[in-house]
Structure 1
Amino acid sequence: MKKYIYKVLSVGVIASLALQSCTDLTEPVYDAIPADQFLKTDAQIAAALGPAYSGLRGITWDWFNPSEATSDELIVPTRGGDWYDGGDWLAYSRHTWTPQHGPINGMWGFIFGNISQINQLIPVVKSNQKAVDELRAVRAFYYFMAIDAFGNVPIVTDNASVGGTKSRSEVYTFIKTELESAIPNLVTGKAYSRMTKDAALMLLAKLKLNAAVYSGSADWQGAYDAANAVINSPNAYSLASSTVANFIVQNQGSSENIWTIPFDSFKAGGMNFQMRTLHYANATTYGLSNSPWNGFCTLADFYNSFEAKDLRQAMWIKGQQYAASGAALKDAKGAPLAFVADFQKDQMTDADPEYQVAGIRSQKYEVQRNNPNGDQSNDYVVFRLADAIMMRAEAAFRLGKTAEALADVNKIRLRSGVDALTSLTAADILAERGREFAWEGWRRNDMIRFGTFSLERKFMKKLDKTRELFPIPQPRIDANPLLKQNPGY
C-alpha cells in the first residue's frame, strides 16, 4: 500500500498544480508532456485524475459519521465535558438535527466540493474518453451520497452554472445513466483504489438496490444483475478468511475488497477510527503516542445481536482494559476501566459512574500498534465481495428466489462460524447485513430501505420519516436560493 500511496500523492500534486495554473479550463495543461502524447498511458491518466480521488479521504468523517451515528449501531454520547459539541452528536442519535446542524453542512460541502473538483477536471482530460468516463463514475459515487443523504439536490456537470433542486427521481435517473454509460469504458482489471468496472458495478448495484427509495420504483432485477456480474467477475474476488481480515492495517492484499480508499499514517491522514472509539488510557494498551478521544461506541441492543460464537465478535473491545504490560487500567476516578454494553444516559456528566466506560468499542479497523501518529494506514473499504453477495441475496429474496437468497446469506454466516439459517425473512437479511457490515458506513442506508430507521429505539427523541432525509443546510440555501428545503424542516 505504501508504494501505491506515494505514487498517488505525487501524481495528485502534479495534476493539482496543473489545475491551479490553468485559467482557461477549456485548454488542457500538459506540463512537460507534449500535447500529442498527453493522456496516452495509464500512468498519465492516473496522474490527471489524482485530485478526483484524493478528496475521497473525507469519507471517514463527513460520510461515515452521519451514516452511522444516526443508526442503531453507533452512538456518540456526551461524556462529561467531552463530545457535546453544541449538541451535534446527540442530535444524530436523537434524530433532532436541524438545517443549522454544522456537520450536516460539512457533509454537503464534502460531497459538492468534490463534484466541483471533478467538473473542473473533465475539460482537462476531454481528449481521452476513458479518463472522462472514469471521472463520471467517481462523480456518480458522490451523487450517490447526495441522493442518499439529501434526496432532492442540484445536478451540476460544469462549474459555469448554479444548479437548482432536482427531484430525487431525476437524480436517480442521472446517476444510473452516467454509470451505465461509463461502465463499458472503465478499467476491467484490478487497479487498486481506482473506479474500475467492478467498483462501478458495485455502485450500480447499490443504487438499484435502493431504487424504490430513490425513485419510487423498485429495480430488484437490475440490482441482482449488477451484483451478480461482480461476483462472477474475471477478477475472481474471494471471501477472506474472516470479515475483520479485510480491515487489518496492511489490508491492500485482501482478496475480498473491491474498492478501497488509500490511507497512510504519515502521508495520507484521516483513518482515525481508533482515536474516536478508544479510551484515553488505551494509548498504553496499543503503544500509541497520541491519547485517544473516548467517544464512539455501539448500543447494547446491536451488540447483543451477535451470537457468542460469531467470529465477527472480534470487532468489539469489551470488558476490563489492560496496558501492554498486562496491568489493569483504571478510569479517571480510579475505578476499573471496563467497558459496559448497556448505559442509561446519552448525555452523561462526570457524576455518572459509567460516563467514561459506557459502550462497547470497535476495532473493526485493526488498531495500529506503536503508532507515533493519530492517523493509521488501514485503507477504507467502500465495496467488498461480501456486500455483493448480500446484495444479490436481498434482490433474489425480493424477486421470490428465496432458496438462492438463503444460500447466499449462509455463505456469509458460515464464514463467521454461525449456523446456517433454514428459512429467511427480510428481517433476517437486515440483521445479517448489520452484523457483517457493522461500522462500515452502510447502516443508515440499510435501515431506511428496510423501513426501520424511524422506528423507536433507545435515546431517539423524534420518530418521523422525514428524518430519512437530512435537511438541505441553511447556509447552502442562503447562498443559493434555487435550492428547496426538504419536507419536515
Structure 2
Amino acid sequence: MKNKYIIAFVAVAMAISGCTKLNENISGQIGNEGVNSGNVADLLNGSYTAMRNPYQGPWGWWSLQEFPSDEAIVPTRAGDWDDNGAWRALHLHRWEADHSRISDTYKDLHGVNYAATNVLAFNPTPIQAAEARFVRAFAQFSILDGWGQVAFRDPGELAVKNSRVRKAPEEIDYLISELTAIIPILIDGPNYFANKDAAKMLLMKCYLNKGAFLNRTAPTFDAADMARVITLADEIINSGKYKLTPNYFDNFAPTNDKLSTENIFTSRNIGGSDAGAVKDMWVPPLHYNQNPSGYNGFSTLSDFYKKFEASDQRIGGAYAGMTNVSGVKVGFLIGQQYDQTGALIKDRRNNNLIFTPEVSNIETDANHLEVAGIRVIKYPIDYVNASTGKAENDWVYYRYSDVLLMKAEAQLRTGLTGNALTLVNSLRAVRGASAFGSLTLDNLLDERGREFFWEGVRRQDLIRFGKFLTPWQEKPSDNPRNLVFPIPDNQLGNTNYTQNPGY
C-alpha cells in the first residue's frame, strides 16, 4: 500500500483559486503570513495535488488534447451529451474565447503554476525548490502548448498584481534554462515525484516541440535541437532503469506502481482514500448497463481504430481482475458486449449492446443512440475500490516508450532513418505488431497514435507533424487560428495578455 501524503490546505486553495482578477485578490491575501519553513513540504505536496485538477481524468487538459484530435469524439445522443454544443465544438474546432472547458483548464493549469511558484517563497531546501520548479515548468509547458503565452509571477509576489506574460521564444528559452538547471539537483526517484528522468523527458519535449511552438503553421526542426533530444534519450536509455512492460495495460493498472517497468513520472493515487479522477477514464465511455454503470458518452473514431493490426496487444482484450469480474475488456470495445458469465448485455431498449464503428457528432437514430462509437478503456478498472470512487491506478504522465519514440523522431528528422527504423521496430515487436519495412513521418505519427492513444498527447503530436488542420472523420477543413486556443474572455482583464489572432 502506498503511503498517504499530507495535502496543505493553503496550496490547494491557491491552485483552485486560479487567476481571474477576483480570485487573484483572494489568494493574494495569503502572502507569506502564517507559513514557515516547516510547511514547505506540505506546500510542495499541495502543488503535486493541484496537478490533479487539470491533468488527471478526462475533463481538463486531456479533453483539450484528445477531443480536438482524430482519436476521440463525444457524440450528442438525442439530448444526452449536448452540453450546449461544447463537446462538438472541440471536435469540430469551432471553439471561441468563452468555451467553458478551455477556460476552466486554463485557470487550473495556472493554479498549478502559481502553487508551485508559491513554494519557492518559503525557503525550501535545494531539492524541494528543484521539485517545485519542475512542477511549475510542467504546467507552463502545457500552457505554452495550448495558448502560446504564459502568465507568471515571482515567488512571494502578491496575486493582486497583473501577472506578467511570456510568449513563445522567451518562454521556451526560460523552460530550457530552468530544466537544465534543476536536473543535477533532482533525485532519481520515486516516479510519483519530480525526478531527473522526468525533467529530462520534459526537456526533450521542449527541444522537440520548439520549432512547432515558434511556427505552428510550418514547424521546423533544428539539427542541434534534435541532437539534444537524442543525447537526453540516450542518458535515460543507458541508465538501465527502464524497459518496455510486457503487458502494455499493466502500465495503467490499479497496481501499476508495481507492475510497470516503464513509467517515469506518475501521480500517486491511494485507492479508497486519496485519489484523483482516474475512474472518469472508464465511466464516461461505458454504457449504462455495463459494470460499472457508465454515462454512454466518449468514443473513438473508426478511422483511428483501423490503424491497429489484430495482433497488436495495444488493441486490447481480456484483463485479469477486470474481465472476470464484469466482462469489460481493456483497450477498444467494439461489437457485442458480455458480462463476466458470458451472457449478452442489452441496451435500455432491450436490444443487444453492440458497439458500432459508425459514429457521428450528432446521433439521432433511436436504435443507434446507445451503441454508436467504439469505446476505449485505457486504465484497467479498479473494482476493489469502485464503491469509493477513488481508484488505486497511478495516473501516468511519462513513459519510457515516449523516450524511444522521441529519439526515433529526432533521428528521422536529421536523416538517421535506419537507426530510427530499428528503434521503432524494437518497440513494435514488444507490442505484438509487425515490423515496418520503412519509416516515414506519416507512419511514425501513426505509431505515436497507437502507443499513446487516449493519454492526452495527440493534439500536440498532430501540430508538430503538420497534420492538425487536415480534415478527418467528423471534422472538415480548418482555420489556422485553431493551432492555439483563445485566451479565455474572463482572463483578459489582465492587460498584459494579447488575444490570440482570429479570436
TM-score in terms of structure 2 length: 0.87
Q: Give 1:410's match in structure 2, choosing from 425, 431, 441.
A: 425
The match for 2:248 is 243
The residue type equivalent to 2:162 in the other structure is V
Q: Is the partner of 2:197 in helix, strand or coil?
A: helix
The match for 1:223 is 229
The residue type equivalent to 2:370 in the other structure is Q
The match for 1:50 is 45
Unpaired runs of at least 5, structure 1: 39-43
Could you say if the C-alpha distance between residues 281 and 22 of structure 1 is closer, same or farther in structure 2, counting changes exceeding 3 Å?
same
Structure 1 residue 391 displacement after superposition: 0.4
State the Cα deviation string for residues 347-401 of structure 1 (Å, max 9, x = none).
Answer: 123x442111111111211122362134422111110110000000000111111
State the Cα deviation string for residues 392-431 of structure 1 (Å, max 9, x = none).
Answer: 0000111111111111101111011112112111111101
The residue type equivalent to 1:256 in the other structure is E
Q: Distance in 1 between matches of 2:276 and 2:435?
A: 40
The match for 2:323 is none
Establish whether residue 156 from structure 1 lines up as the match of residue 153 from structure 2.
yes
Q: Distance in 2 between matches of 1:28 and 1:400?
A: 57
The match for 2:202 is 203
Q: Is the partner of 1:406 in helix, strand or coil?
A: helix
The residue type equivalent to 1:319 in the other structure is G
The residue type equivalent to 2:252 in the other structure is F
Could you say if the C-alpha distance between residues 226 and 113 of structure 1 is closer, same or farther in structure 2, counting changes exceeding 3 Å?
same
Q: 1:75-474 counterparts in 2 under 5 A?
A: 75-124=73-122, 126-158=123-155, 159-160=157-158, 161-187=161-187, 189-216=188-215, 218=221, 219-233=225-239, 236-253=241-258, 254-266=260-272, 267-271=274-278, 272-283=280-291, 288=292, 291-314=293-316, 315-343=331-359, 345-349=360-364, 351-369=365-383, 371-474=386-489
Q: Is the partner of 2:347 in helix, strand or coil?
A: coil
Report how many residues are paired.
Answer: 462
Q: Is the partner of 2:396 in helix, strand or coil?
A: strand
Q: Mean Cα displacement is larger for which, 166-175 or 409-418?
A: 166-175
Could you say if the C-alpha distance between residues 333 and 378 of structure 1 is closer, same or farther in structure 2, counting changes exceeding 3 Å?
same
The residue type equivalent to 1:147 in the other structure is L
Structure 1 residue 481 displacement after superposition: 2.8
Checking the alignment, whether the CA contact within 8 Å between 1:198 and 1:258 is kept in structure 2 is yes
Percent sequence identity is: 35
Could you say if the C-alpha distance between residues 415 and 49 of structure 1 is closer, same or farther in structure 2, counting changes exceeding 3 Å?
same
Checking the alignment, whether the CA contact within 8 Å between 1:95 and 1:461 is kept in structure 2 is no
Could you say if the C-alpha distance between residues 191 and 97 of structure 1 is closer, same or farther in structure 2, counting changes exceeding 3 Å?
same
Could you say if the C-alpha distance between residues 164 and 25 of structure 1 is closer, same or farther in structure 2, counting changes exceeding 3 Å?
closer
Unpaired runs of at least 5, structure 2: 16-25, 317-330
Checking the alignment, whether the CA contact within 8 Å between 1:243 and 1:416 is kept in structure 2 is yes
Checking the alignment, whether the CA contact within 8 Å between 1:25 and 1:123 is kept in structure 2 is no
Q: Is the partner of 2:95 in helix, strand or coil?
A: coil
Structure 1 residue 15 displacement after superposition: 7.3
Checking the alignment, whether the CA contact within 8 Å between 2:191 and 2:263 is kept in structure 1 is no
State the Cα deviation string for residues 408-462 of structure 1 (Å, max 9, x = none).
Answer: 1011110111121121111111011000110111111100000111101122145
CA RMSD of aligned residues (A): 2.4
Q: Mean Cα displacement is larger for which, 448-457 or 110-119?
A: 110-119
Q: Is the partner of 1:275 in helix, strand or coil?
A: coil
The residue type equivalent to 1:57 in the other structure is R
Q: Distance in 1 between matches of 2:87 and 2:214?
A: 30
Could you say if the C-alpha distance between residues 170 and 282 of structure 1 is closer, same or farther in structure 2, counting changes exceeding 3 Å?
same
Q: Is the partner of 1:294 in helix, strand or coil?
A: coil
The match for 1:41 is none
Q: Give 2:496's match in structure 1, choosing from 470, 482, 489.
A: 482
Q: Is the partner of 1:260 in helix, strand or coil?
A: strand
Q: Distance in 1 between matches of 2:463 and 2:332?
A: 25
Q: Distance in 2 between matches of 1:359 and 1:454?
A: 23
